[in-house]
Amino acid sequence: MNKKILAAFLCVCMVVVTGSFPVSAAKTKKTYKIAIDAGHQGKGNSKTEPIGPGAKMRKPKVAYGTQGVKTKVPESKLTLQIALKLEKELKKRGYDVYMIRRKQNVNISNKQRAIRANKSGADICIRLHADAASANVRGVSVLYPSQQNPYVAKLSKKSKKLSKNILDSYCKSTKFKKRGLSKRDDLTGTNWSKIPVALIEMGFMTNKTEDKQMQKKQTQKKMVDGIANGIDQYFK
């Protein structure tokens, strides 16, 4: 029997017996892209912009943010520290990462940040912030849009899931107090988003203990691991 005919015959027999072709294409695992927005910047921008598409309400393009009561580190510097470390960790875990900013000296409004994340092809957006209140207040909260949000209601369910995953994993990793999830519909950087978004208030810079902790290398590692673990959980 001709070798070519024999090979074809054996191939047909294999399909009949096994119900499959001898060589099957391996399934490729989707690579997710994460947009990271390090909240604030070196200098705020008091000019205003609409808080959402078609909104009459306007807010400053970028607020100045708070600063450490003990360390005097500005919020914008803390968020950038964590953002850069989170980028490295996520890439180690196989994610693609889009950074809204990599330095302090930028002027990117909250609306522009959301639009950039949308255009990047990212699957989700993580907004990094730190909180401020009276000196004894501490802990972590994560903000997401409600189902009544006039601009991004359709993102509420997935954003809530993402927010809960991050909150739970972050607090487990850092041992920071869990303040909970919070619905917020007045956040410009959220309302212009087209992808699920979570804004984490990583701790209170007005609390001496948390302020000092968040500047420690080992604590920042736990902060980053917690956020990354939450992202892993979201995509499971």
Please state the φ and ψ torsions of residue 61, each to the nearest 5 degrees. Answer: -60, -40
What is the fold, at CATH topology level, of the domain defined by 27-234?
Answer: Aminopeptidase (3.40.630)
pLDDT of 215 reads: 98
* CA distances to 71, 146, 192, 206 from 112, in Å: 30, 22, 9, 28
pLDDT of 16 reads: 41
pTM to 2 decimals?
A: 0.88
Please state the φ and ψ torsions of residue 222, each to the nearest 5 degrees. Answer: -65, -35
Would you say 37 and 127 are in contact if contact means Cβ atoms under 8 Å apart?
yes
The Cα 134–Cα 124 span in angstroms is 32
Give me the tens of pLDDT residue by residue for the chain, a chain 236 residues long: 454 444 444 444 444 444 444 433 345 679 999 999 999 999 999 999 999 999 999 999 999 999 999 999 999 999 999 999 999 999 999 999 999 999 999 999 999 999 999 999 999 999 999 999 999 999 999 999 999 999 999 999 999 999 999 999 999 999 999 999 999 999 999 999 999 999 999 999 999 999 999 999 999 999 999 999 999 999 99
pLDDT of 29 reads: 76
pLDDT of 41 reads: 98
The Cα 177–Cα 203 span in angstroms is 9
Q: In the chain, where are the structural domains located? A: 27-234
pLDDT of 28 reads: 61
CA 33 to chain centre: 10
The Cα 227–Cα 38 span in angstroms is 13
